[in-house]
Amino acid sequence: MSDTAVIHEHGHVPQPVQHGKPGGILRHTSIVTGLVSGVVLAVIAYLVGGMLMPQGTLDADGIQVGINAQIAATYIAWVVGFMAGIGAFAGPIRWAMGHDLTHDDAEYMAGKGQGKWRYWKYTTDHKVVGFQYLVISMVLLGLGGFLAMLVRTELGATWTEVFDPNFYNSIIGTHGIVMIIAMIIVVTGPLGNFVVPIMIGARDMAFPRLNALSFWLLFAAVPPLVTNLMLGGMRDGWTVYQPLGAQAPVGMIGYQITIITFAFSTGIASVNLITTIVTMRARGMTWNRVPIFVIGIIASSIMGLVWFPMFQYSQVFALSDRVIATSFYIPQMGGSVWLYENLFWLLGHPEVYVIVVPGTAALMELMVVFLRKPLFSYKVAVAGFAGIVGISSVVWVHHMYMTGWAPAAGYPFMLSTELISIPFGFLVMVMLGTIWRGKVWTRLPMMAVFAVLWNKVIGGITGVYLSDVPVDQYMHGSMFVVAHFHFMLMGAGLFAAMGAISYWFPKMTGRMLDERIGSIGFWTAFAGFQLTFGSMFVAGLQGMPRRVLQFDDAFNVSNWLSTIGAYTIGIGMLVFLYAIVTSWRSSVLAAANPWGAKTLEWQTETPVPLENFPVLPVVTSDPYGYGVPDPYDEIEEQLTDEDATVGAR
């Protein structure tokens, strides 16, 4: 037997005692038991909280004493109840009791023999989790997009107030945080989970149960976020600066619970992805043979893992200020607004790269396939990601230039912010170098590369303005900032995600994404995007502050254009969604490797079997062995042979 075959020898491994049927209690749990248990526990918490509350006692602000604690308890009970109901605690309890999983248990939990129902259970198979993430990120994007349409409706109707200020401010905040969450997961969730383990030649993630845990925590985090709109809303923008957030109605608690839960979800997912990539690569996949997408995912995971707890604790303190009347952010009682801003932005900025890096890496991965060329300078790409991971942790104060916190900090943080453009430039160079002299196969995933590079150029240059303290003195808090970060997060993030999803669509679903309809949707959205945020730059230059619902007539024209553009994006996205849904339901099956790609996930069959590979692969080179020798080099050699100094050609 050669050393290429790594076979799982389950039959020979002594198994622990099988308690009951494989799967144990998880045979009986699913999203249904989760929802029931979550709702029941939430209702109990709400009722008990109501009974404990001193009814009719109002505090200084005229708010019922104890209502914050009641609502917080309700939300926490929902999250805990849901997780318990779906079976998330079964694993730790079994472990503590010493009832270890048998191989049959593990296979049941990975969804063996459960058909479509496995998508609704606490399923550990990374491919199932990938699908679950794909669907939830599309749902969140749809919700965030719908709220964006409402925002643009208000701003386009310059002659009237469409919504009352409370609702308007709540939809800006909810749009912001829904989109941030959706963008954090949209590549790393579906593709990081589905594709990465196959790409590195593993059978599953390192911690399959944590994988299910991270998804269902995310799922549990969504209802508190959505229901905030019914409890008075989180009307303070996605940043929820304190102490403004302390004034908001109890809907704010929904936001805080969501962030705290989502931070656990992201942390767990990051631990899982990093461990998988570090320890479970196929034989022969040395670090210089790892596909660049995997490098991007690990870079993004490191930033999320290290910095998310800062955001989490910022919200823990805010919730504590509300519920047990501590004063972390209440200045009268010794709290500081700058504490909140620092904790918030310590994650807040790395999070931008958490969003942009995986999409960029995915485009690098797919462009080589459509250009039939090796990736240009793999090492510079890796250095670019490493540089971004390093520098991103020391740039957060550029969000705080105008807060008055340590004005002298403007100098070092302007330096670090402008330095990060260098590793970011590496990534652009790698993409341009790969495009250089390549014959383009003009399929949708490849065209996304062009769209994203265009957006990155615009977003990058406008970012350079904003990194500069004097310019920020004019731009901070204006529509210019809004347009800039949409160019980065949506222009470079979402459009990259659309390209990446259409690239891996045939592997995930077994069907090709409809090229024609998908392209129509993509380019409609792209055109609308340019109009929306191009004219928003103008509004910002003219001096329009962000997060306002009424403004000077001087800004009317650019806002009308933005609104027209936004509706165009909406139409484009609906068309793209239509392409996804119809292609998914189509009966025409895709080949296992329709793009002719060389990475491992395309070498296994479609649909991918339960443990991904019948025999684990062994890697002997990097996956970029495309291309023919450079014809110019041959000409040069001939010339050299004759007489190099002649010079005429």
CB nearer to another protein: give 353 or 624: 624
Beta carbon of residue 509, minimum distance to another protein (angstroms, whole number): 17
CB nearer to another protein: give 136 or 616: 616
Q: Which residue has the tokens 């893992």?
A: 305
- Residue type for position 345: W
The helix/strand/coil state of 478 is strand
Beta carbon of residue 135, minimum distance to another protein (angstroms, whole number): 27
CB nearer to another protein: give 55 or 247: 247
Tokens read off for 97: 């009791």
Beta carbon of residue 319, minimum distance to another protein (angstroms, whole number): 11
Beta carbon of residue 41, minimum distance to another protein (angstroms, whole number): 20
CB nearer to another protein: give 43 or 429: 429
Please enumerate, as own/partner, the contacts of 37-40 that have beta carbons within 8 Å and a separation of 24 or more: 37/81, 37/82, 37/84, 37/85, 37/86, 38/77, 38/78, 38/79, 38/81, 38/82, 38/83, 38/85, 38/220, 39/78, 39/81, 40/81
Tokens read off for 144: 């965030």
* Alpha-carbon span 582 to 190, nearest angstrom: 19
| 637 φ/ψ angles, rounded to the nearest 5 degrees | -65, -40
Contact between 188 and 293 under an 8 Å Cβ cutoff? The reply is no
- What distance, in Å, lies between the first and last C-alpha atoms of the chain? 56
CB nearer to another protein: give 3 or 115: 3
Cis geometry, peptide bond prior to residue 607 (ω within 30 degrees of 0): yes
Beta carbon of residue 437, minimum distance to another protein (angstroms, whole number): 5
- Please choose, from the candidates 44, 49, 252, 210, the residue with its C-alpha nearest in 3D space to the C-alpha of residue 126: 210
Positive or negative torsion for Cα 213, 184, 417, 244: negative
DSSP letters for 19-56: -SSTTGGGGT-SHHHHHHHHHHHHHHHHHHHHHHS-TT
Contact between 577 and 512 under an 8 Å Cβ cutoff? The reply is no
CB nearer to another protein: give 46 or 163: 163
Beta carbon of residue 619, minimum distance to another protein (angstroms, whole number): 14
* Alpha-carbon span 330 to 368, nearest angstrom: 53
Beta carbon of residue 367, minimum distance to another protein (angstroms, whole number): 11
CB nearer to another protein: give 116 or 640: 640
Beta carbon of residue 541, minimum distance to another protein (angstroms, whole number): 4
CB nearer to another protein: give 550 or 620: 550
Beta carbon of residue 95, minimum distance to another protein (angstroms, whole number): 6
**CA dist 357 to 120, 130, 363, 424, Å?**
30, 19, 10, 10
CB nearer to another protein: give 349 or 476: 476
CB nearer to another protein: give 74 or 535: 535
Contact between 88 and 81 under an 8 Å Cβ cutoff? The reply is no
- Sequence-separated (6 or more) residues with CB below 8 Å from residue 221: 79, 181, 257, 258, 261, 262, 265
Helix (H) or strand (E) holding 373: none
Beta carbon of residue 626, minimum distance to another protein (angstroms, whole number): 6
- Sequence-separated (6 or more) residues with CB below 8 Å from residue 198: 507, 600, 601, 604, 608, 612, 613
- Please choose, from the candidates 209, 233, 215, the residue with its C-alpha nearest in 3D space to the C-alpha of residue 89: 209
Positive or negative torsion for Cα 286, 287, 291, 297: positive
Contact between 532 and 566 under an 8 Å Cβ cutoff? The reply is yes
Beta carbon of residue 649, minimum distance to another protein (angstroms, whole number): 7
Beta carbon of residue 568, minimum distance to another protein (angstroms, whole number): 23
* Alpha-carbon span 28 to 22, nearest angstrom: 11
Beta carbon of residue 407, minimum distance to another protein (angstroms, whole number): 8
CB nearer to another protein: give 353 or 570: 353
58 forms beta bridges with 64
CB nearer to another protein: give 75 or 376: 376
- Residue type for position 253: I
CB nearer to another protein: give 20 or 629: 629
